[in-house]
């Protein structure tokens, strides 16, 4: 890896700024899933063990106006982080100013402080999200070194990642390094056969990923709502299934260029409405009657995808196979999840987003080599795009 990682920095006695991704789900002021906090612990524990003075910060949700601040404070996150670390985490409910500066100055080696939601700076002109140069410079002035461990925001140039890294020596945290190693290396230098599985609603969301993977993967298995645009592009009947009519020519072109690499489901589970109530049944792909819509891949397709995965050495999965939130249409996603989880001699990666949520919900999280913490970032990384937050980190 060409970028510095946290172990490349001499941190003892230094004030180390840590951009974490603590954008955790909250309900009534309580954290409903602390996975992102847990994922950040290795980097933070390393810095504390090495006698750094740790200043950690993150965004939480979107904040456009004063009213949006309600329920968006990072204080509950600081409290949960303290529990997980087994030590006090000082919380400063400010994003800048004398109170914050004094609190940082009072830190001793091995102490940790968290300051308030970086998006609170977006209320007056989107200073954080638009990478305001003055804000990035100010935050950089609060520390001696910068560790970026927030892969989930690496595809955006914000003041809290690119802005800070512009002014101070920086490195990737362990989580960021893991994302780069698994997603980047697995796609660019995969052990073969390399099979990619793409799902989700729209072809338009995955155009760049498909085009990039056509040059790298041995097979691309396509499920989810996006499959119906490919069916229609072949002149098949899709009933009232999801269709991107303006992407039909693109789908034809992708199929032609794929030369057999793209594998579409052979059957689909349909219903008369976007609901579990109705006439749910499986039919051959491309033979969907009028008045019916496809909502999942069918049982024959699950067996088909299992067969395509046999012997795979690298598997990347992004996007569910159907409307997995409804039990009647979760079978395809469950089946694919089980098939990938059963590959004992392969590197298996979930590229964040809904497929990661599905794997965790279904209890398969521990059966994958890596589950990405960044939906949008992992998608852009799979497209082969440069991620500004990663690019800004100091080179070795």
Active site residue 376: yes
> CB-based contacts of 326: which residues, under 8 Å, 6+ apart?
275, 276, 295
CA dist 142 and 55 (Å) reads 9
Exactly one of 202, 252, 338, 385 is catalytic; which is it?
A: 202
Q: What residue numbers does the annotated binding site for ATP cover?
A: 206, 294, 325, 352-355
Q: What residue numbers does the annotated binding site for substrate cover?
A: 21-23, 36, 59-62, 119, 156
CA dist 70 and 67 (Å) reads 6
Exactly one of 286, 353, 374, 389 is catalytic; which is it?
A: 353
CA dist 71 and 66 (Å) reads 12
Active site residue 298: no
Q: What residue numbers does the annotated binding site cover?
A: 21-23, 36, 59-62, 119, 156, 206, 294, 325, 352-355
- State whether residue 311 is helix, strand or coil: coil
Angle, CA 293 vertex, CA 296 and CA 304 arms, to 5°: 30
SS (H, E, C) 82-116: HHHHCCCCEEECCCCCHHHHHHHHCCCCCCEEEEC
- DSSP states along 139-206: HHHT-SEEEE--GGGTTS--IIIIIHHTTS-EEE-HHHHHHIIIIIHHHHSPPSSEEEEE-SS-STTT
Exactly one of 137, 376, 384, 385 is catalytic; which is it?
A: 376
Active site residue 351: no
Exactly one of 4, 36, 80, 232 is catalytic; which is it?
A: 36
Active site residue 36: yes
Q: What count of other Cβ atoms lies within 10 Å of the Cβ of residue 167?
A: 16
CA dist 255 and 248 (Å) reads 11
Q: Which residues are catalytic?
A: 36, 202, 353, 376
């Amino acid at each position: 890896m060409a970028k510095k990682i946290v172990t490349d920095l001499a941190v003892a006695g230094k004030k180390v700024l840590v951009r974490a991704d603590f954008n955790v789900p909250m309900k009534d002021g309580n954290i409903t899933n602390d996975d992102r906090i847990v994922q950040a612990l290795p980097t933070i524990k390393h810095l504390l063990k090495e006698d750094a003075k740790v200043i950690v910060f993150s965004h939480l949700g979107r904040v456009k106006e004063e009213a949006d601040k309600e329920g968006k404070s990072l204080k509950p996150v600081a409290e949960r982080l303290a529990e997980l670390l087994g030590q006090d985490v000082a919380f400063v409910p400010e994003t800048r100013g004398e109170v914050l500066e004094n609190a940082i100055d009072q830190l001793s080696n091995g102490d940790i402080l968290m300051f308030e939601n970086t998006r609170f700076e977006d209320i007056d002109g989107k200073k954080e999200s638009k990478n305001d140069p003055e804000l990035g410079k100010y935050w950089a002035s609060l520390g001696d070194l910068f560790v970026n461990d927030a892969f989930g925001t690496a595809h955006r140039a914000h003041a809290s990642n690119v802005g800070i890294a512009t002014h101070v020596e920086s490195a990737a945290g362990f989580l960021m390094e893991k994302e780069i190693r698994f997603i980047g290396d697995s796609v660019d230098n995969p052990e073969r056969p390399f099979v990619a599985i793409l799902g989700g609603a729209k072809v338009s969301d995955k155009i760049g990923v498909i085009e990039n993977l056509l040059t790298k993967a041995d097979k691309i298995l396509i499920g989810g709502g996006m499959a119906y645009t490919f069916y229609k592009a072949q002149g098949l009947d899709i009933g009232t299934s999801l269709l991107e009519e303006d992407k039909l020519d693109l789908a034809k072109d992708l199929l032609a260029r794929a030369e057999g690499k793209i594998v579409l489901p052979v059957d689909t589970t349909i219903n008369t409405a976007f609901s579990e109530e109705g006439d749910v049944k499986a039919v051959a792909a491309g033979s969907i009657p009028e008045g019916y819509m496809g909502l999942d891949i069918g049982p024959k397709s699950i067996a088909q995808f299992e067969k395509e995965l046999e012997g795979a050495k690298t598997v990347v999965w992004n996007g569910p196979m159907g409307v997995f939130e409804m039990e009647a249409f979760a079978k395809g996603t469950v089946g694919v999840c089980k098939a990938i989880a059963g590959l004992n001699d392969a590197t298996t990666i979930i590229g964040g987003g809904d497929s990661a949520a599905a794997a965790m919900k279904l209890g398969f999280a521990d059966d994958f080599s890596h589950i990405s913490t960044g939906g949008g970032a992992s998608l852009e990384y799979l497209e082969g795009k440069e991620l500004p937050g990663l690019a800004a980190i100091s080179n070795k």
